[in-house]
Amino acid sequence: MLRDLLERTGFFQFEPAPLSDLTTIKLSHDPAYVEDFVRGRLSDAAIRRIGFPWSPELVKRTLASVGATLAATDEALKNGWGGTLAGGTHHAFYAEGAGFCIFNDIAVAIRKLQAARRFERFAVIDLDVHQGDGTAQIFQDDPSVLTFSIHCKNNFPLRKQISKFDIALDAGVGDDAYLQILLEALPRVWAFKPQIIFYQAGVDVLKSDALGRLALSPEGLHQRDRVVFESVRKRELPFVITLGGGYSVPIELTARAHANTFLLAREILS
């Protein structure tokens, strides 16, 4: 639905996601876990924690999701910004998946850049309603990566990790309070002096979201993205947008919210 909405605008060029190779994924994940997932050898408990039944199609979809973020990163390096209509799988840990996340695409992209010695300082701005716990865990001992998460306190995951910079919100926070918190927080991100930004642009902060528990309006979400995009444009940093979560009812509200994120990115960043 999201791709159809964006295709109808005529503003975007879409490319099929390439499949990531396993060697690249193993830069940020335990090689044994990667092999066990790809070959269908994970335990029943591990599969339940992920939330998807295993299948060869799931493997292909997962490799494509990571490959899409790697391709979006390449696009950002060439043209300033890139995006993927997937990714943001921030609940994937080093050696296990969780919460519908199998491999952490943002972590893989950062590790690949580190291996190539492309940059020295990285930032992840995660504004999904759920904490980016997997991302926080993968980079917990890496001072070159700032992990920043604004999320709902009383929501999945029940056991939070420690990001470099966490802001946990009470349920019911709406537009004005959220935007003020974001505006006050971003200077700390820029003080870190990142050289590339990864944005987990989950739209599950909407009041209409079935799993969110925050109360942003579509206009508030629009302003959230505008604040981030304008801050990035001012600093002329490479910028990668990943999809993140969205569970509004009806689902058309989620597709429209994601589409608005990409349309605003085109307006501000192109």
User: What is the full DSSP assignment across 90-140?
Assistant: TT--SS--BTTBSS-HHHHHHHHHHHTT--S-EEEEE-SSS--HHHHHHTT
**Is 91 assigned a catalytic role?**
yes
Total number of domains constituting the chain:
1
Residue 178: predicted pLDDT: 98
Catalytic residue among 91, 130, 151, 258: 91
The domain that holds 226 is classified in CATH as 3.40.800.20
Radius of gyration over alpha carbons of the chain, in Å?
A: 17
Query: Percent of the chain having pLDDT more than 70?
Result: 100
Q: What is the pLDDT of residues 110-139, one digit of tens each?
A: 999 999 999 999 999 999 999 999 999 999
pTM of the model: 0.97
Antiparallel, parallel or unpaired: β 122-126 and 145-152: parallel
Q: What is the pLDDT of residues 244-257, one digit of tens each?
A: 999 999 999 999 99
Residue 173: predicted pLDDT: 98
DSSP 79: H
Tokens, residue 173: 């926070």
Q: How far is CA 118 from the centre of its chain?
A: 21
Q: Residue 129's domain spans which residues?
A: 2-269
The CA–CA distances, whole Å, from 156 to 13, 150, 214, 216 equal 35, 13, 13, 18
Average pLDDT over residues 76-95: 98
Residue 207: predicted pLDDT: 98
Q: What is the mean pLDDT of the chain?
A: 98
